[in-house]
Each structure stands twice: as structure tokens, then as C-alpha cells.
Chains A and B, each alone.
Chain A
Amino acid sequence: MLCSLCLNFSCQTDEEIKRQKYITEGILLYRTHCANCHQTDGKGLQALYPPIAGSDYLAQKDSVIHLIRYGQQGPIVVNGKRYNRPMPANKQLSDLEIAEIVTYIYHQWGNEKTLTSVADVKKVFPAR
């Protein structure tokens, strides 16, 4: 058991191991901070809360990162549908935590195989 675990890990690059860690943390953070509205399966709720799964909004990763920290007021269009509920800010989340959430979201619903780094998050918030 231990051996197969070792073998498994040895096949992975350091970068991939790091990404898996981000995904694991990201799942927990997503369930705590996002899933209330966007649901565990990422499908959102009716016309109240937009989906993340299959969302065309994922194409704008910088906006997604900004949105997680500062929230959103006013209407937003996702997959051609208009949503108009305020999204609360999550200013308590660190750059690392946002990177973990975004890595999870893009792994799960954005078909992404690379990690979103803390540096990727930092460059969205140049003033900080």
C-alpha cells in the first residue's frame, strides 16, 4: 500500500503534487464559501445564482479572481442569461486561498490541467 503510494507520487512532478494539494484545499474552501449559492455541483440555482460549471464567464479568469475577493453588485450575464443578485465580498480570503479555490474551479469545470498560482492572484491586485 505504502509502496504503491510512493510509486504513484514518484510518477508525478512536484508541480502536479502541488496542484493536487491546491485542489484538495480548494474543494473545502469552495464548499465553505461558494457552494451555498453556486451549489456543490457548480450548477447554481435557477435564475437566482449563476452556474460555474459550464459557465462562459470562466474565460475571464482575472475577473473571477477579482469577483471572489470583492464580490459583485448589479447584473451579470452568464451563458447569455442575466443574473442580478449581489455576491458578497470575501475579503478574509488570502491570496493562497483564492489561488486554491480558482485552481479547484478550473480543474473541475474549466478543464484546466495547470495550477493557478499565488502570483497569478497577486497580479490581479497590483495595489496590495
Chain B
Amino acid sequence: MILFFLVTACQSTDKLPILGNREAVVRNVNGLPVTDSVYHTIRDFAFISQYGDTVTNHTLDGKIYVADFFFTTCPTICPKMKTQLKRVYDEFRGNNRVVLLSHTIDPARDSVAVLREFADNLGVKDRQWLFVTGDRDTLYEIGEKSYMVTAQADSTAPGGLIHSGAFILVDAQKHIRGIYDGTTVDGVDKLMVDIKKLVDEK
């Protein structure tokens, strides 16, 4: 019983960190300088989903989401990542606060129709898991600048592209709260625990 209280006490203070650089911004309040921390934030974006409509940062307002980068013909880590992200999808299916956002890094091949077929084949028929495409350089840039992961062309890599196997957990304020190895069961178990923490966060 005591142990139970101890455990709950630990959990309540176990808040996920906000990752990325932060800046101190000084502003004036009633003539006095007040310093605020400005956290690393996902910048605005507009991509096209597997259903052909536009997905922007506002589409995800108020949502907790998991972002990743992949391409449908990837022969190496993507199948592992999609196997793992499917577990997350199945776990949180129907929870309207949780969204998955998979960005292709091969928009030349991964058209809306290709993404639609891929999602269908994976058993995804709703809007809780969005597969997005767009301008190649914009996709690479948001990967590197906003989500802090590698995504770029490399003719020496299998499939012609290299990218990170990370899943990035983003909160309702567009802050990164965790980065996980999306190719392993352990990494994704931890992600699912942390999503629950964020859902419960006040």
C-alpha cells in the first residue's frame, strides 16, 4: 500500500522534458523586463495526405502526434518502423487526441495514390494516421530543422535515400517531448508509455 503511494507520487512528477534549443526572450510588462523561455517549436507546414487533402500544422492543433520519415519502397528500416507504428496505431485507435504523421521523403514516387494504397494495405482507413507528401526539399527541411532528424537523398544508400529511424513525439503546443528508436520493440514500448503521459498531462 505504501509502495503504491510511492509509485504514484513518482509518476506525478515524472513530466516529459521539452527537447531542443530554447531562447531567452525579454519582454516588457508594465515597464519591467520579464524573461520568458521560448522553446523549440515545429514550424508551420502544409502537405498533402493520402486522401488528397491538405494537412497543415493547424490540422493537428490540440493533438499529440508522432512524426516519422519513410518511403514506400524502402528496403531497409521502413518496414520495421511501419510494423512498430502500426502497434501504436492499434493501441491508440479511436483516441481523438492522438495522431500519427508519416512523411514520405520520396515524393517523386510516393504520390497521393501510392500513399493511399500503402495505408490501405496496412489496414489504415481513417484520419488518425496520415501519410503526407509534398515538395521534396520542404520535406527534408522540416525533418532536419523542426523534427531534428536526418532525411536526404544519397545514391549510395539502398533505395537511394537515407533517413532516420526515429519517431518524434510532439505535444499540443508543437514542442518535441521525446525521440524514440522506431525500429525496435523497446523504443516503441517507451513511446507508448510517454504518449499516455502526455494524454494525461494537464
User: Do A48 and B122 touch (CB < 8 A)?
Assistant: yes
Task: Please name all residues of chain A whose beta carbon is closer than 8 Å to the beta carbon of B73 when the two chains form the complex.
Answer: 85-86
B123 partner, pick from A46, A84, A88, beta carbons under 8 A: A46
Separation of A47 and B82 alpha carbons in the complex (Å): 13
A20 contacts B by Cβ under 8 Å: no
A37:B79 contact, CB within 8 angstroms? yes
B197 CB within 8 Å of chain A? no
The 8 Å CB contact of A88, one of B82, B83, B121, B158, is B158
Q: How large is the interface on A (under 10, 10 to 19, 20 to 34, 35 or more residues)?
A: 10 to 19
B75 and A88 within 8 A (CB) = yes
Cβ of B80 and Cβ of A46 under 8 Å apart? Answer: no
A47:B83 contact, CB within 8 angstroms: no
CB contact under 8 A between A36 and B76, given known A45-B122, A47-B120, A48-B118: yes
Asked if A108 lies at the interface with its beta carbon under 8 angstroms from chain B, I say no
Chain B interface residue count, CB cutoff 8 Å, equals: 18
Nearest residue (CB) in B for A86 is B73
Q: Please report the C-alpha to C-alpha distance between residue A45 and residue B121 in the assembled complex, in whole angstroms.
A: 9
Contact A47 B122 (CB under 8 A): yes
A49 interface contact, C-beta 8 A: yes
* Cβ-based interface call for A39 (8 A): yes
Q: Which listed residue (B83, B120, B158) contacts A39, Cβ 8 A?
A: B83
Residues in B with CB closer than 8 Å to A47 are: 120-123
Q: Let me know if B63 is at the binding interface, CB within 8 A.
A: no
Chain B residues, Cβ within 8 Å of A37: 79
Using Cβ atoms and an 8 Å threshold, which residues of chain A touch B77?
A: 36
Measured between beta carbons, the chain B residues less than 8 angstroms from A48 are 79, 82, 118, 121-122
> Can you list 6 A-B pairs, Cβ within 8 angstroms, ordered by A?
A36-B76, A36-B77, A48-B82, A85-B73, A85-B121, A88-B159
